[in-house]
Amino acid sequence: MSVGTEWLVDAEGCSSEALRNIATVRAVCEEVVACLGLSVVGQPLWHQFPPPGGVTGLYLLTESHLACHTYPERGTATFNLYCCRPRPAFAWDERLRESLGATRVSVRLVDRGSAAESEHATFESMFSESATAQEVTSL
């Protein structure tokens, strides 16, 4: 039985400067929260690691959670958005290009809680969803 949907978003070719700027990365997460009408519980956790200066952000949501990690040395940022209630889609591709300078954005959807009942069906459905991911990925 499904208990939620998770978006796995990987953005590559990003500006290293943007990825080590905690305010910039935080603004992206705050925009996701605002655009999708998510409810943050308590204070989000933010941490900047020593050089090359990647940052991590974690939001505990009424809807589940939002997590972000950046890797300035690789020009990559990853996001997890896990929602146990239906939410509209966020314009990940467009917004991560604008805010972080991403040149490639991959969006994968994963159904949570139902994999054990029908593993094969779940992976088949992920295959069909990968076509959608490819559509939003510009090489």
Q: Decide if 102 contacts 25 (C-beta within 8 A).
A: no
Measured from the CB atom, the residue of 94 and 113 that comes closer to a second copy is 113
DSSP 72-89: GGGTEEEEEEEESS--PP
Cα 36 from Cα 17, distance rounded (Å): 27
The contact pattern for a second copy, residues 34-73, with x = CB under 8 A and - = no contact, is -------xx--x-x-x------x-x-x-x-xx-x-x-x--
Question: Judged by CB under 8 A, which of 6, 36, 53, 91 binds a second copy?
Answer: 6
Active site residue 29: no
Of residues 15, 69, 114, 130, which has the active-site annotation?
Answer: 69
Q: Decide if 20 contacts 72 (C-beta within 8 A).
A: yes
Question: Judged by CB under 8 A, which of 5, 16, 21, 76 binds a second copy?
Answer: 76
Measured in whole angstroms, the distance separating CA 93 from the mean position of its chain's CA atoms is 11
Of residues 16, 64, 99, 106, which has the active-site annotation?
Answer: 64
**Residue closest to 81 by CA, chosen among 110, 46, 116:** 110
- Beta strands across the sheet bearing 45-48: 45-48, 55-61, 64-71, 76-83, 4-12, 104-112
Q: Looking at the annotation, which residues are catalytic?
A: 64, 69, 84
- Chain positions contacting a second copy, by CB under 8 A: 1, 3-4, 6, 8, 10-12, 41-42, 45, 47, 49, 56, 58, 60, 62, 64-65, 67, 69, 71, 74, 76, 78, 80, 82, 84, 104-106, 108, 110, 112-117, 119-120, 122-123, 126-127, 130, 133-134, 137, 139
